[in-house]
């Protein structure tokens, strides 16, 4: 079974996507052999208040059990706790996603302190999106820096009881973060290069890695190909075991 931890659906002003309907995205992931994808709203990335887009994506994905909505949270908003209450009723996924670089707050800001404590109480994991696009390919007048890995490390060390999944780290960034923390996991979507995953696993344990494609910004097939030289228990952990453990899913049926 394959669980894709890093996917999004919606409109992005700087790139046209072929998976432009939920049906197309659902069929695409099935063709790639992916059982469940955790999908957030693309529009929420550029929204100061992502709530309307969170609610929209829940409705759009309702007919597609292999596409499970992940709610985007902006911890700067005063009603953050109430939003978490609402989203717990709307989704099956006990994880939320943040975009600190796009929503303009630091990981050591006061809003994050109260937010992390609230997530711990709720036993909700946190996804931190380190980047959306390669820094070199961003629209010239709309450049957004990637999240500094040292900030991720400090956050994780300050809140060791919180599970944190970092999305779109490079291989070198992931090695740095994972070697410095006990409670951080990283997806493979931005880990490029020859034998990138076997090389990664020589430096960090497979228990800290999860499968993610960053579809539709990157090709799903690329993430699948990175796993070609991984086999056995390590492959099973990366494909589904690790993220299932983080989200406390246990055995997930193929239809979710």
DSSP per-residue string spanning 45-96? GG-SSTHHHHHHHHHHTTT-TTEEE-EE--TTSTTHHHHHHHHHHH-S--EE
Q: Which sign does the torsion angle of CA 94, 224, 214, 198 carry? A: positive
Has domain 3-247 been given CATH number 3.90.1570.30?
Answer: no
Please report how the helices 51-60 and 80-90 are oriented relative to each other, as an axis angle in degrees rounded to 10. 0
pLDDT value at position 255? 52
| Residue-by-residue pLDDT tens, the chain, 256 positions | 999 999 999 999 988 999 999 999 999 999 999 999 999 999 999 998 999 999 999 999 999 999 999 999 999 999 999 999 999 999 988 999 999 999 999 999 999 999 999 999 999 999 999 999 987 888 787 889 999 999 999 999 999 999 999 999 999 999 999 999 999 999 999 998 778 999 999 999 999 999 999 999 999 999 999 999 899 999 999 999 999 999 987 555 455 5
Tell me how crowded residue 248 is: count the other CB atoms within 10 A of its CB. Answer: 10
pLDDT value at position 82? 93
How far is the C-alpha of 173 from the C-alpha of 203, rounded, in Å? 12
Instruction: Note whether 68 and 39 are within 8 A (CB).
Output: yes
């Amino acid at each position: 079974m394959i669980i894709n931890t890093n996917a999004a659906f919606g409109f992005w002003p700087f790139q046209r996507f072929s998976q432009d309907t939920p049906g197309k995205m659902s069929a695409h992931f099935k063709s790639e052999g992916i059982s469940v994808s955790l999908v957030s709203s693309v529009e929420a990335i550029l929204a100061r208040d992502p709530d309307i887009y969170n609610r929209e994506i829940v409705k759009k994905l309702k007919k597609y059990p292999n596409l499970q909505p992940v709610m985007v949270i902006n911890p700067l908003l005063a009603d953050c706790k109430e939003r978490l209450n609402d989203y717990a009723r709307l989704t099956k996924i006990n994880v939320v996603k943040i975009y600190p670089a796009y929503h303009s707050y630091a990981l050591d800001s006061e809003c994050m302190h109260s937010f992390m404590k609230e997530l711990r109480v709720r036993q909700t994991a946190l996804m931190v999106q380190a980047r959306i696009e390669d820094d070199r390919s961003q629209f010239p007048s709309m450049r957004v820096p990637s999240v500094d890995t040292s900030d991720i490390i400090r956050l994780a060390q300050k809140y060791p009881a919180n599970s944190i999944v970092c999305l779109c780290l490079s291989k070198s960034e992931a090695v740095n973060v994972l070697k410095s923390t006990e409670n951080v996991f990283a997806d493979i979507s931005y880990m490029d290069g020859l034998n990138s995953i076997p090389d990664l696993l020589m430096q960090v344990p497979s228990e800290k890695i999860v499968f993610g494609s960053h579809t539709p910004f990157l090709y799903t097939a690329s993430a699948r190909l990175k796993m070609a030289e991984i086999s056995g228990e390590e492959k099973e952990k990366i494909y589904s075991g690790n993220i299932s453990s983080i989200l406390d899913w246990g055995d997930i049926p193929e239809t979710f």
